[in-house]
Amino acid sequence: MSKLKNILESRKIHIGIFLIWLLHISGLIGILSGQAAWFVPKTPWNLMLMALLFIWVFPLDTIRKTALFAFICVAGVSAEWIGVHTGFLFGSYHYGENLGPKLDGIPYLIGVNWALLSFCSGCVSRNLPLPTWARILFGALLLVGLDFFMEGLAPALDFWRFQGGLPTLWNYICWFVLAILFLWGYEKLDIQGNRRFSLHLLGAQFVFFMSLYLFF
C-alpha cells in the first residue's frame, strides 16, 4: 500500500511539472512567434491552473498552510490597493486588462500570484544549509529578481504600467520588505511542501520572463 502511494505521489509530481513547462513554453513560443494578442489575455487562466496544480501537488493540505496562503493573498491584494490608490507602496501605477477581472482596480488573482511565488520561494530556500535569516534573505532576493524581469515587460503585456514608464527603486524595496514578511511567516510556521515542484514552477517563471525580457 505504501509503495502504491509513493508511485501515485511521484506520478502526481511528474504530471504537475510537465504541465508547468508545457504551459509556460507554449506561451513563450506563442508570444515570440507573433501571437501575443491571443496568448497574453489567457494569462489569468494560466495563473488559475498553476494555483490548482499548486494546491494539488505542493500540497495545500493543512490548516497552517491554508491560513498562511490566505493571509498572503489578502496582504498582497491590500498592498497593491494601497499602491494603486495612494502611490505609497511600489509607486504610482495602475493595472491593465490582461490579469483578469478587477475589484476597485486590483486584479482578483494578484493575491494568488503573491502567495504562489512566496510559497515556492520559501520552499526552494527552506532546505538550504543556511541560518534562517539567510534563507529568508535568499528567498526575498529571488522574488525581487523575478520582479525585475516582470517590470520590464508589464507595460508591453498590458499587465500594469507605472507613471513615467518604469518603476523606481522604491518598488523593489517594497517588494523586498513584503517578501521578507511573507517568508518569515513561512519559516515561523515551519511550512513543508514539495521542493521539486516549487523549483520547477519558480524556474519556469524565470525562464518565461527572462526570455521575453531579452527577445520580446
Three-class SS of residue 216?
Answer: coil
Q: Cα dist. 158→49, 79, 98 in Å?
A: 20, 20, 6
pLDDT surpassing 90 at residue 95: yes
User: 7-44: per-residue pLDDT in tens?
Assistant: 777 899 999 999 999 999 999 999 999 999 999 999 99
Domain region containing 43: 2-215
* Tally of domains in the chain: 1
Q: How far is the C-alpha of 48 from the C-alpha of 4, rounded, in Å?
A: 29
User: 143-173: per-residue pLDDT in tens?
Assistant: 999 999 999 999 999 999 999 888 999 999 9
Q: How far is the C-alpha of 102 from the C-alpha of 95, rounded, in Å?
A: 9
